[in-house]
Amino acid sequence: SAQIADLQQKLLDADNGDRAKQRWDSIATILEAKCALKYLLGELVTSKVQESKLQSSLEQSQASCSDVQKMLMEERNHIAELEAEFQNQILVQEQQHQEKV
């Protein structure tokens, strides 16, 4: 009975897939075509809205990434300056130590 139920479910799933295709293929009246067109236009609008939201999100992410990269470069420059200053202090300390010796 489990196998029968499984086979029946598979038949229903296959039938549902075929029905969707048959619905589009069997449009015969202007009213059906109008309803189908209305549905497709609704799907198009939904897709365009979603695309717009995704595009906006992408642009925000790119701007955020650019800001982070800029901040990273500033930090690298600051670290390089600090390192140069530190090396200079080491040289001064070594010179003072050599003079004392």
- Condensed to tens digits (0 to 9), the pLDDT of residues 35-60 reads 888 988 999 999 999 999 999 999 99
| Residue that the structure tokens 């003072």 belong to | 96
Q: Which of 33, 10, 8 is nearest to 23 (CA)?
A: 33
Q: What is the C-alpha separation between 96 and 60, in angstroms, rounded?
A: 54
Q: Which of 57, 37, 55 is nearest to 47 (CA)?
A: 55
16: confidence class by pLDDT, cuts 50, 70, 90: low
Q: Where are the domains of the chain?
A: 28-97
What pLDDT sits at residue 32? Answer: 79
What's the mean pLDDT in 76-88?
A: 97
